[in-house]
Structure 1
Amino acid sequence: MNPGAPDEVVVIEAWLSEFPFPDFLEPIRERAREFEKAHPGYRIDIRGYSYEKLPEAVAEAAARGAAPAIATYYAGASQLARDARAQDGSPLFVSVEKAVAGRTEILGERVVLDDFLPGVREYYTVDGDFATVPLTLSTMLLYANTTVLRQAGIDALPRTWQETTAACEAVARLENGPGHGIAWPVDGKFIQHALAQQGALLADAGNGRYGRATELDLGSAALADYVDWWRDLHRDGHYLHTGVAEDWAGTFKALVDQEVALRFSSSFDANYMVRAAAEAGFDLEVGVLPRNGAMPCAGNWIGGDSLWLTDGLDDAVRDGALAFMQYLNSPRAAAAWHKASGSAPATYGVIALLEEEGWFDLHPHHRATAEQLELRSGPPEAHGAVLGGFHAIQIAMMEAMQDVLDGVEPRERFARAGERAQTLLDDYNAYAQGTGPLTPDCLTVRI
C-alpha cells in the first residue's frame, strides 16, 4: 500500500526497463491506465530504469525491504533475478506459474501462460516452472535484398547455412554486384542462437535451467561447426567483416548501401530495415535465421525483457500484479505493444488477432518472427543458457571470434576463451554465493 493513497486502493509498483528508443514505455503506461479503469481498486505505478541499471536498483531496494511488486530483467540477466535476495536473505522472486497456482483467471483477467508459443514458454522456464512472463521479446532473423537475389537466380530466401553459402556464391558471380554476400555483427548472441538451433548446451545443469550453471563448454562440436562456417564465409570473401565488434550500425548500413545482399540481425530491426530499403530503392524480405541444414532447429535465442514477481506480497498486491501481467499479454494489449515497439508477438492469441486485422498482410516482414519462434524441436534446455556474468562471457566469445576472422586458429583460440569465460562464471558464482567479491562484471547487463 502507498501511504499517500486511500485505504481501498491497492498500489502495484512496477519497475520496468527503459531501452534506447523515444518514449519507449509510454504504451505500457497507457495499458496501465486502462487496467486501472477496469480495476478501480488498483493503481499501477510504473517507474522506468535503464535496463543496465535496473537489477542493481532492485537489489538495493530489496535490501531495504522496499522492492517493487514487479521488476523486469533483460533476458541475458535472468540469473541476476534468480540470485536477487529479499531483506531476510530468501529469494526475492517467485515463479509466476507457482503464484498463478492453476487459476484460469485472476481478477477477471484470463491467464495466458498456456497460450505462449512453446519456444517462448520453454525459454522462460527455469527450475521446471514458467518463472517469468515476457514483456518485450526479440529473436534473430535474416534480411535479404531480393532485388539482388533475383538477379543472381535465387528465388527463395536461404533457410540453412548451406543455402546461405550457395546464395553468397551466386551473388559473387554477378557483374557489378555487391562486394560481399552477407554481413552480421560479431556478437555473442549469434553464437548463442547457433547453439540453440543445434540443440547444444553452453553450460551444465541443463544450460543453467535446472540449478546453478558451474561449468561452461566452448569446445562443443556445434560451436566449432558454426565458427568454421562463419570463418569460411569470411575467408572466401562472402562475409563482410567491418572490423568492429557488435557493429549493428555498420552492418545495417552495409545492407542499405547494397554492399551486401544478406544480413543477420534482430527482429527489432524489421521496421527500420524495411523503411531504409524502400528509401534506397530495392526489395527486401525478412526470413527465419538460417540454421545448420544437417539437423532440425532445436530452439532459438530470445532477447528482450520479462516480468518477475516479488515473493511474499499481500494477496491483493500479488493478484493485482499477476492480473496486470496477464493483461499486458492479452491479445489486444500485446498487439498494441507489438505495433508500437516491434516486440515479437509471443502468444497464439495475439498472432490470431493480428492476422484477423490484416496486420501481417500489410506488414509481411513481421510474419517471420512468429515463424522463427515456432521452429523448435527441443530439448527445452536448448533455448539459451542462464548464466551469471553473461555479458563478460559473451565478450570473451566475441573477442575469440574476432581473432578467428583475423586468421587465428579457431580451436586453440576458443579453448582460451573457454578458460576466460569459466573464470568469469566462477567469479560470479562466488559473489552470488557469498564467498567472493563483487566485481564489475557481476552486475553488468548489456543488450
Structure 2
Amino acid sequence: MKHPFTLCAMVLATVVATQAQAVEIQVGYAYSATFDPTFERMMQGFSKAHPDIQVTFRATYENYEDATNTVLREAVANTLPDVSFQALNRQALLVERGIAKPLDPYIAREADFETDGYHKAMLDLSTFDGAIYGLPFSVSTPISFYNMDILRAAGVETLPSTWDEVIAACNRIKVNTDKEPLYWEWNISGNWLLQAAMWSQGVPMIKDGKLNMDNPEGLKALETAKAIFQDCGMKNVVGGDAAKSLAAGDLAMFFSSTAYVGFVDRSKIGDWEFVTAPYPGINGAPQALPAGGNSSMLTSGSDDPEVLEAAWQFIKFATSGEGAAAVALTTGYVPPNKVANALLMEDFYTKNANKLTAVNQLPLLSEWFAYPGDNGLAVTQVIEDHLESIFVGDAHNMEELRDDLVEEVNALLPR
C-alpha cells in the first residue's frame, strides 16, 4: 500500500508554494517508514535555502521494484516525476530506456562541486558509458541486529560471526526462552541478501551476463538459506513487521539493511539492550558484501530549463552536505559523501555506536547486481519464488533447486 507524504512535509511544501514565482518539482521515493523522517528534516533546510522552489512529494513507492515499475509506466504516460530515488541496481534500466538524464552538464556548471567527495563504489554504480546518471543518496550494507537480553537469557555469550553460529544460537533461544529466535529478510528488494550470501564467499552472483550460482558457492548459499528457514523456525512476515517485533523486545536476532537502525531506535519499547554487529559470513567473515541503497536521478519529462535546474538543486542538496547528513541522523544509512560526515557532530558515532557498524563495513562494498536485459525485474521475482519454495518447505534438494534456478534465470537473460 502506498502512503502520502507526512503532514509536516506537506505543510512545508504549502509554505514554499506561497512564495512568488515558485518553480514546482515533483519527487518520488520508496519506503515511507524509513525515509519520511529524513525528508521532513531535509525540507526544513531546503525550504530556507530555496524559497523559490516548491517540492511536491508523490505517494511513496512501496519498495524498489515498485519504484522502477512505477517510473516505467509513468514514462509511457508522460507523467514522470522530476526527481526519482531509485535502487542502485535499477539505475541501468532507466538509463537504457532514456528516462534518466545525465547529470554531468549540471555538475560542470558547479564551481565547487566535488564528485570525489562521494563514496567511489557508490558513484561508480551510477556511472554509465562515462556519464553520471545518479548521485548516491543512502549507502547501506547488511548488518546484524541483536536483543542482548534475549541472547543472555538463552546462554549465548558471544555474538555469532558465521551462519552456523547463528543457527546454534537459534537452538539455544528456542530451548531456553519463549521469544522469536530470528528473522532474515530473504525477500528484501533485488535479492540483496542472496547476493550477500554469494559475495560473502567472494563470488559474484552475475558473471559474463549469466547467473553465477552453478558452483559450490551457489549450493552453499541455498543450503544456508534452508538452514536459516527450517532450523530457526522463522516466521513468515515482512521485514517491516519483523523490525517492529525487534523493537518490541520479542525478536532476538534480525538480519537486514542498516536502514532499520533509526526505526528501531525510535520505536524501541522497554530498556532491553539493542546492539548491532557485522553481518555473519559463511565459513568465516564475509569477503565482500553488496552495496545497498539508492541514488537520486533526474527523470523529469519537462523541457523547461527552470524546472530542470530546480530539480538539480534538489538533487544536489539531498545528496551533499546538510541534506545528506539528515540520512545518518534519521536512519542507519551511511551518508553518501565526506561533506555530510563533516557536518555531523564529531562524536556522532560515539553516541550512536549502532550506526557505526555499517561504516566499518564500507571496505567490503561490492556491486549490487542488476539482472541485464528487459527481463531484469522478472528475474528478481523468479529467484524470490525459488527462495520462497525453500521457506514454505516445498523444496528439499538444494542441488536440484539450484540447477533449476540457474536454467530458468539464464533463459530469461540476454543471449
Q: Would the alpha carbon gap of residues 28 and 54 (structure 1) be closer, same or farther in structure 2, given more than 3 Å must change?
A: farther
Tell me the SS of whatever aligns to 2:48.
Answer: helix
Instruction: Determine the C-alpha separation between the residues in 2 that align with 1:59 and 1:186.
Output: 26
Residue equivalent to 1:16: 28
Which of 217, 221, 234 is 1:222 aligned to?
A: 217
Q: Deviations over 1:123-161 (max 9, x none)?
A: 434445543112345442210122343456655533443
Tell me the SS of whatever aligns to 1:143.
Answer: strand
Instruction: Determine the C-alpha separation between the residues in 2 that align with 1:272 and 1:10.
Output: 34
Q: Would the alpha carbon gap of residues 31 and 342 (structure 1) be closer, same or farther in structure 2, given more than 3 Å must change?
A: farther
What's the TM-score once normalised by structure 1's chain length?
0.70
Residue equivalent to 1:81: 94
Q: Would the alpha carbon gap of residues 425 and 70 (structure 1) be closer, same or farther in structure 2, given more than 3 Å must change?
A: same
Which of 49, 58, 68 is 1:48 aligned to?
A: 58
Larger deviation, residues 249-258 vs 218-227: 249-258
1:241 paired to 2:234 = yes
Residue equivalent to 2:368: 383
Residue equivalent to 1:124: 126
Cα RMSD after superposing both structures: 4.0
Q: Would the alpha carbon gap of residues 247 and 9 (structure 1) be closer, same or farther in structure 2, given more than 3 Å must change?
A: closer
Q: % of aligned pairs identical?
A: 19
Q: Would the alpha carbon gap of residues 15 and 154 (structure 1) be closer, same or farther in structure 2, given more than 3 Å must change?
A: same
User: Is the CA contact 2:139–2:333 (under 8 Å) kept in the aligned structure 1?
Assistant: yes
Q: Would the alpha carbon gap of residues 295 and 19 (structure 1) be closer, same or farther in structure 2, given more than 3 Å must change?
A: closer
Instruction: Determine the C-alpha separation between the residues in 2 that align with 1:393 and 1:346.
Output: 29
Q: Deviations over 1:331-371 (max 9, x none)?
A: 32222243345543222332343242x33333322222222
Instruction: Determine the C-alpha separation between the residues in 1 that align with 2:141 and 2:165.
Output: 21
Residue equivalent to 2:4: none
Q: How much has 1:264 moved relative to structure 2? A: 0.4
User: Is the CA contact 1:18–1:51 (under 8 Å) kept in the aligned structure 2?
Assistant: yes
Instruction: Determine the C-alpha separation between the residues in 2 that align with 1:316 and 1:257.
Output: 47
Q: Deviations over 1:290-329 (max 9, x none)?
A: 2234575333241345323669967776665444423222
Residue equivalent to 1:36: 50
User: Is the CA contact 2:25–2:307 (under 8 Å) kept in the aligned structure 1?
Assistant: no
One-letter amino acid matched to 2:258: S
Q: Would the alpha carbon gap of residues 312 and 114 (structure 1) be closer, same or farther in structure 2, given more than 3 Å must change?
A: farther
Q: Would the alpha carbon gap of residues 384 and 156 (structure 1) be closer, same or farther in structure 2, given more than 3 Å must change?
A: farther
1:146 paired to 2:148 = yes
Residue equivalent to 1:400: 386
Q: Would the alpha carbon gap of residues 155 and 50 (structure 1) be closer, same or farther in structure 2, given more than 3 Å must change?
A: same
What's the TM-score once normalised by structure 2's chain length?
0.75
How do 1:178-217 and structure 2 match up within 5 A? 181-187=181-187, 188-204=191-207, 213=209, 215-217=210-212
Q: How much has 1:276 moved relative to structure 2? A: 5.1
Q: Would the alpha carbon gap of residues 414 and 310 (structure 1) be closer, same or farther in structure 2, given more than 3 Å must change?
A: same
Instruction: Determine the C-alpha separation between the residues in 2 that align with 1:117 and 1:178.
Output: 43
Tell me the SS of whatever aligns to 1:120.
Answer: helix
Residue equivalent to 1:346: 336
Q: How much has 1:184 moved relative to structure 2? A: 1.3
User: Is the CA contact 1:268–1:343 (under 8 Å) kept in the aligned structure 2?
Assistant: yes
Q: How much has 1:283 moved relative to structure 2? A: 1.1
Instruction: Determine the C-alpha separation between the residues in 2 that align with 1:62 and 1:35.
Output: 30
Unaligned runs of 5+ in 1: 85-90, 206-212, 430-447
Unaligned runs of 5+ in 2: 1-16
1:363 paired to 2:364 = no
Q: Deviations over 1:211-252 (max 9, x none)?
A: xx5x334424333222222323455x3x2332x3x6325544
